[in-house]
Amino acid sequence: MAARRGALTANTVAVVTIEGDHDEVEVTNATGTAAIYYTLGNVADTTTDPTVAGTSDQLFQLPAAIASRRHNRPAREARTIVKLISSGTPGYDVQGLDPKAPTE
């Protein structure tokens, strides 16, 4: 499954959708120029928007360094929504890992 790559706009939520059946999602701070905060879900409208330096139990953080983190996908749905935000403009990669072959 191809990674979704981009650069964040400061203080603006970016939404990445990973389609397909996969076991894990990996989120990477590709440039390390600023911390990245993100949330995971399977429906864009109901996935919580992340906040910079927030404290929600649903919020994850990658430090201002080149780093990545893997998560089990949040539900058995055929997609994962990742919402990201930063106070800066770091590059990011988001990808589904261990994709499953479609069944007919």
- Name the residue with higher pLDDT: 103 or 99: 99
Q: What is the pLDDT of residues 51-99, one digit of tens each?
A: 998 888 889 999 999 999 999 887 777 789 999 999 999 999 999 987 6
Break the chain into its structural domains and give their ranges: 4-99
Q: If one looks up domain 4-99 in CATH, what number appears?
A: 2.60.120.380
**pTM for the structure as a whole:** 0.89
Residue 104: per-residue pLDDT: 43
Helix, strand, coil distribution of the chain in percent, nearest 5: 0, 45, 55
For residue 4, which of 21, 16, 20 has the smallest C-alpha distance? 16
66: its two tokens: 């080149």
| Maximum separation of any 2 CA atoms in the chain, in Å | 44
Report pLDDT digits (tens) over 1-32: 556 899 999 999 999 999 888 889 999 999 99
Residues 1/67, Cβ–Cβ less than 8 Å: no
d(CA 104, CA 31): 40
